Amino acid sequence: MTIHLTAADYGAVLPIMIVLGGALCLLLTDAFVKVHETEIATGISLATLLLAFAASAHLWAVNAGPAFPQGAGAMITGDRFGQFFNFALLLSSALAILIAPPYIRTSHFDAGEFLSLILFATAGMMLMAASLNLMVIFLSIELLSLALYILSGFDRNRPRSQEAGFKYFLLSSFASAFLIYGMALIYGATGSTNLIRIVNVLGGHAGTVASTHTVLSSPFVLIGIALMAVGFAFKLSIVPFHMWTPDVYQGAPTPVTAFMSVATKAAVFPAFLRVFNLALGAESHRWFGILWALAIVTMIVGNVLALSQSSMKRLLAYSGIAHAGYVLVAMSANNRLGATAVAFYFIVYAFMNIGAFALVLVLESRGEAGDEIATYRGLFARSPLLAVATGVFMFSLAGFPPTAGFFAKYYAFAAAVQAGHTELAIIGVITSVISLGYYLRVVVLMFMQPVEAGAEQVRAGPLSDFMLTASVAGLFVVGLVPWFYNLAVQAVQSFFHFTT
């Protein structure tokens, strides 16, 4: 097969190329610039992300039509669905970079290296969100994982960080093996790694009914589905493949944790959706049971285990597991509203989860034990902005209106009920009640406990202040203004375009 690259093909990869270019540029400047290193590197990476955002928005505007844009020999696509997740990825990357500089300085990191690795990971994630081919999915998952392995162990003088990097590396490679084995089996059964061809083979567009039936009953397909589900579930820290999450989240440098807690999921879920809801969408009865069980177990285990944590990063790790469960509920609904809910969820999740890590980060940058929840006593008196913002993030994570966290959860569970799975919604809301137990504990400590005598005021710094204010504002605006939801609806229209 010869590949003819057209302008449209380059257009589809433009945002990704920009981020990669920015990362390389960062590495170069790092070699020459020695003064104000952190400031310059932060500036370059933020500018890169902004540029990529503009390119992504341009692609969104260009690809409005019904035609399904495919780039680079149908390997990747510049469709709106991918662009929407690009927005979420660029947003979470930018939010994490905004709060990182004080931490980089106190930990004596090499800013250029650190931030360029974050950009490399972002590029891998964007590639994953755009991929239309099982091979590209695998390549991009490796690209983002390699960067994240290094980032997790970046604080190499701290044993916890080393442990995190190593643990993540070992378990993640193991899961990658599952994933690629599953892909190989699917390829063996359908004869293609291209998702659209797989749809055609499985959906009966290309073959006769008889041949479709033969393909479907093939054990390869079933085993392949199961193995790929395991691989994705590991990356998404879905129970029972979640064991690495708390350790890695706690050990990794806090900006990395903040970034990967949102961005990894925002990258893997679109690929997960493309493979399961799109390529295997017609066969949902074969995989629905798996996802149904995973979602239930994930919501319960994540929320229950979070109750007993004394470390904020571990708490947020388990909360992240629970949220992956909520998203999985939306995904397993396998309908338009469900896909919309998944897309919408990550815009919201970027604001509230990275915001929640900001508190840890600000305190740690001051040399305090910011990871210990007990140190939040009376935080409102020490830093009203930080406390109020964190309070908003907690309420949003818990799903209180009018924050966007409520809307995201609402759409996710409504999708499940619409698909006829009320039980998923019931378990979802009951575990949400459990989640109040740990979210409110943080709120109680910050607002309702007296501050210890002699505690100093906390100032977060201008960039962090900006990030916190923007995230709080974002959480109200994204939920209440229907424009954002309609954006997600449009994104999903392109996704479902060629199945209908």
Positions that interact with another protein (CB under 8 A): 337, 395, 400-402, 406, 410-411, 413-414, 416-418, 420, 422, 425-426, 429-430, 432-433, 436-437, 440, 444, 447-448, 450, 482, 485-486, 489
**What's the closest the beta carbon of residue 160 comes to another protein, in angstroms?**
32
Which is nearer to another protein, 214 or 422 (by Cβ)? Answer: 422
146's enclosing H/E stretch is helix 134-152
Q: Could you give the dihedral angle defined by the CA atoms of residues 56, 344, 295 and 118, in that order, rounded to the nearest 10 degrees?
A: 40
What does the H/E/C string look like for 90-107?
HHHHHHHHHHHHHHHHHH
Q: Cβ closer to another protein: 272 or 411?
A: 411
The shares of helix, strand and coil residues in the chain, as percent rounded to the nearest 5, are 80, 0, 20
CB nearer another protein, residue 450 or residue 462? 450
For residues 106 and 113, the answer to whether their CB atoms sit within 8 Å is no
Q: Provide the minimum distance between the beta carbon of 472 and another protein in the complex, in angstroms, as a whole number.
A: 13
Over its C-alpha atoms, the chain yields an Rg (Å, rounded) of 22
- Please tell me the distance from the alpha carbon of residue 377 to that of residue 490, in angstroms, as a whole number: 44
Quick one: which of 114, 103, 102 has its CA closest to 148? 114
For residues 443 and 1, what is the distance between their CA atoms, to the nearest angstrom? 59
Quote the least distance from Cβ 447 to another protein, whole Å.
6
State the minimum distance, in angstroms, from the CB of residue 429 to another protein.
4
Contact 341, 332 (CB under 8 A): no
Nearer to another protein by Cβ, of 304 and 436: the residue is 436
Query: Minimal CA–CA distance to 357: which of 286, 255, 271?
Result: 255
> Considering the complex, what minimum distance in angstroms separates the CB of residue 80 from another protein?
17
For the bound state, the minimum distance from the C-beta of residue 430 to another protein, rounded and expressed in Å, comes to: 7
Indicate the residue among 162 and 418 with the shorter CB distance to another protein. 418
Find the distance separating the first CA and the last CA of the chain, reported in whole Å.
28
Q: Which is nearer to another protein, 243 or 429 (CB)?
A: 429
Minimum CB distance to another protein, residue 10 (Å): 35
The nearer residue to another protein, 333 or 350, going by C-beta atoms, is 333
Query: Smallest distance, Å, CB 410 to another protein?
Result: 7
Q: Considering beta carbons, is residue 43 or 420 the nearer one to another protein?
A: 420
Strand partners, 372: 311
Distance CA 110, CA 388 (A): 32
